[in-house]
């Protein structure tokens, strides 16, 4: 079983409810989407093939021994779009079986029903401003685990915010899942978004990309 891997690196989780935690990231190569604000275009094609055991060995060398509890080593599979790789669910299960806490970052354009339910799924509901909102699979909502998985909406504009708010209310997701609203770096004013969330009494988690605040928007491998 082989995967085209763009990079594997040890850094700080920059997004979501686990922001700030040390994390080993496995970034797979390739993505069928072309979001207007994509910040990982280098992952469309760059990478080298690695077999499953080589990936697990690299993770062990960075994360250390597996463990349990709130300080267990944390590993995230990202991309690109990791679920574009047909064997991605097997890689996720192998990481879980090795004893790590495991997350998946996915665009919601591929079926997450194939993914081990123990995986923390961070699913990006694409907005109109992304140019890829039609790629969403509505069936994925049925596979999200309340209290574990997260829905993320990346907003390019005030219009995107209005759309995202309406979608969340229509689908009833605010009472079931952690929902994250994130402004596109350099496009939507973070202060406007934070104030709008508070003014609307919207029970979502405002987030910024912590890694960009620390190392800059152009730095790779963080």
What's the CATH number where 92 sits? 3.20.20.70
Is residue 87 part of an annotated ligand binding site?
Answer: no
φ, ψ for residue 56 (rounded to 5)? -60, -40
pLDDT in tens, 24-64: 999 999 999 999 999 899 999 999 999 999 999 999 999 98
- Residue 169: HSE in the Cβ half-sphere, 13 Å Cα cutoff: 9
The pLDDT assigned to 165 comes to: 98
Is residue 175 part of an annotated ligand binding site?
Answer: no
Whether 221 is in a domain gets the answer no
Whether 167 is in a domain gets the answer yes
- Counting residues of the chain whose pLDDT is more than 70, the rounded percentage is 100
Residue 130's domain comprises 2-215
Is residue 80 part of an annotated ligand binding site?
Answer: yes
Is residue 78 part of an annotated ligand binding site?
Answer: yes
Whether 49 is in a domain gets the answer yes
Count CB-CB contacts under 10 A for residue 195.
12
Whether 220 is in a domain gets the answer no
Is residue 64 part of an annotated ligand binding site?
Answer: no
Whether 31 is in a domain gets the answer yes
Instruction: Check: CB of residue 7 under 8 Å from CB of residue 79.
Output: no
Whether 222 is in a domain gets the answer no
Residues β-bridged to residue 154: 182
Is residue 47 part of an annotated ligand binding site?
Answer: no
Is residue 31 part of an annotated ligand binding site?
Answer: yes
Whether 59 is in a domain gets the answer yes
pLDDT in tens, 64-112: 888 777 778 999 999 999 999 999 999 999 999 999 999 999 999 999 9
Is residue 168 part of an annotated ligand binding site?
Answer: no
The pLDDT assigned to 5 comes to: 98
Is residue 13 part of an annotated ligand binding site?
Answer: yes
Whether 20 is in a domain gets the answer yes
The average pLDDT across 15-32 equals 93
Is residue 201 part of an annotated ligand binding site?
Answer: no
Is residue 106 part of an annotated ligand binding site?
Answer: no
Q: What share of the chain is helix, strand, coil (3-state, %, to 5)?
A: 35, 25, 45
Q: How far out from the chain centre does Cα 3 lie?
A: 19
The average pLDDT across 7-17 equals 92
**Angle at alpha carbon of residue 107, lines to 93 and 145, rounded to 5°:** 55
The pLDDT assigned to 222 comes to: 76
**Running DSSP on this structure, what letter comes out for residue 157?**
S
In 64-186, beta strands by DSSP E? 74-78, 101-106, 120-124, 150-155, 178-183
Instruction: Count up the domains in the chain and report the number.
Output: 1
């Amino acid at each position: 079983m082989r995967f085209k891997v763009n990079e594997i690196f040890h850094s700080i989780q920059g997004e979501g409810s686990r922001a700030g935690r040390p994390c080993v990231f496995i970034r797979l190569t390739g993505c069928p989407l072309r979001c207007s604000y994509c910040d990982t275009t280098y992952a469309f094609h760059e990478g080298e093939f690695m077999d499953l055991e080589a990936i697990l060995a690299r993770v062990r060398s960075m994360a250390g021994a597996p463990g349990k509890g709130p300080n267990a080593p944390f590993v995230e599979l990202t991309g690109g779009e990791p679920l574009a790789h047909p064997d991605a669910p097997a890689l996720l299960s192998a990481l879980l079986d090795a004893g790590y806490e495991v997350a998946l970052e996915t665009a919601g354009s591929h079926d997450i029903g194939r993914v081990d339910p123990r995986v923390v799924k961070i699913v990006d509901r694409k907005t109109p401003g992304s140019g890829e909102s039609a790629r969403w699979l509505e069936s994925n909502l049925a596979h999200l685990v309340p209290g574990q998985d997260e829905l993320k909406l990346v907003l390019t504009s005030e219009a995107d915010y209005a759309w995202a708010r309406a979608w969340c209310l229509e689908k009833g997701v605010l009472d079931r899942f952690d929902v994250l609203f994130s402004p596109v770096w350099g496009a939507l004013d973070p202060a406007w978004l934070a104030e709008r969330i508070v003014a609307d009494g919207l029970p979502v988690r405002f987030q910024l990309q912590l890694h960009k605040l620390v190392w800059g928007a152009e730095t790779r491998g963080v």
